[in-house]
Structure 1
């Protein structure tokens, strides 16, 4: 009985049974933005899936179950969104300047997970950074720093 009541109240609050993150949780917006980066070039590599999992788990201090729930919530949010403004507006309201720069860094980590920055990925990061209020200089510096990291075995150089 209490479980049914908890689920009912969760549904009213915008928290589903398989999604324990509130609809307006900035972590869901971050996950949705990263999912859109993974999907943008039409090819989802295993390295990108792994990077998405690792970035979210590490940056938000989640366990395996929470990470899987956040990725699912992000996928659902991304599927419903018309454009990236749906995520960046939440992130801009929720994060300070350092947090917004960290979000851009997370995007670059996903972009370079397969070893190369696709033109579409680069464009999405540029647009998201602009919407987040991260300067061009900082965006490019973050890109260079992430691009200089050692690549996973089998990754394409680009």
Structure 2
């Protein structure tokens, strides 16, 4: 009986364990949303994974094992979440308006990493932007910037 009580207390949310990360960590919240956007269309591609890792490495100046741990924590948090609010509320508290718009732009980069915009990805970005207080105009401008960047000289990105 006492073992079950100790196990229960050890697993309480918010209890910081060495090396663990929670969804309250803005980096984990960002990684979880990036992961969710990658999976929104139901097709997971290496180019999207590479995009997520590059974004997290560049944004948070992490690499190696620390980057792998952050990606894993984001993936786990996203899989355990029931909605976006847990992540968007954390980011909204930690980012100013300009940073939130920049984050939406990063999410669009993941969407366009495979060169295709799927309607579920578009809907996901609309919901995330709305919850983070990013208005429609800024969301659309961020999408257009990411689409142009993805097209590059080849013109491979498409809006389905």
Q: What is the TM-score normalised by the length of structure 2?
A: 0.83
Is contact 2:34-2:107 (8 Å) kept?
Answer: yes
CA RMSD of aligned residues (A): 2.4
State the partner residue of 2:96.
96
User: Counterparts in 2 of 1:111-126, with a 5 A limit?
Assistant: 111-126=111-126
Q: Which runs of 5+ in 1 are unaligned?
A: 1-7
Aligned-pair CA distance for 1:48: 0.4
Task: Please list the CA deviations of residues 78-117 of structure 1 after superposition, one character each: whole Å capped at 9, or x if unmatched.
Answer: 0110011111011111111112111101100100000011
State the partner residue of 2:66.
66
The answer as to 2:39 corresponding to 1:56 is no
State the partner residue of 2:127.
127
Q: Moved runs in structure 1, 4+ residues, more than 4 A?
A: none
SS of residue in 1 equivalent to 2:116: coil
Q: What is the TM-score normalised by the length of structure 1?
A: 0.84
State the partner residue of 1:146.
146
**How far apart, CA to CA, are the structure 1 residues paired with 2:40 and 2:155?**
18
Report how many residues are paired.
147
The answer as to 2:31 corresponding to 1:14 is no
Q: Which runs of 5+ in 2 are unaligned?
A: 1-9
**How far apart, CA to CA, are the structure 2 residues paired with 1:48 and 1:151?**
15
Q: Does the C-alpha gap of structure 1 residues 52 and 155 become closer, same or farther in structure 2, counting only changes over 3 Å? A: farther
Task: Please list the CA deviations of residues 127-146 of structure 1 after superposition, one character each: whole Å capped at 9, or x if unmatched.
Answer: 10011011111111111111
Larger C-alpha radius of gyration, 1 or 2? 2
**How far apart, CA to CA, are the structure 2 residues paired with 1:16 and 1:129?**
32
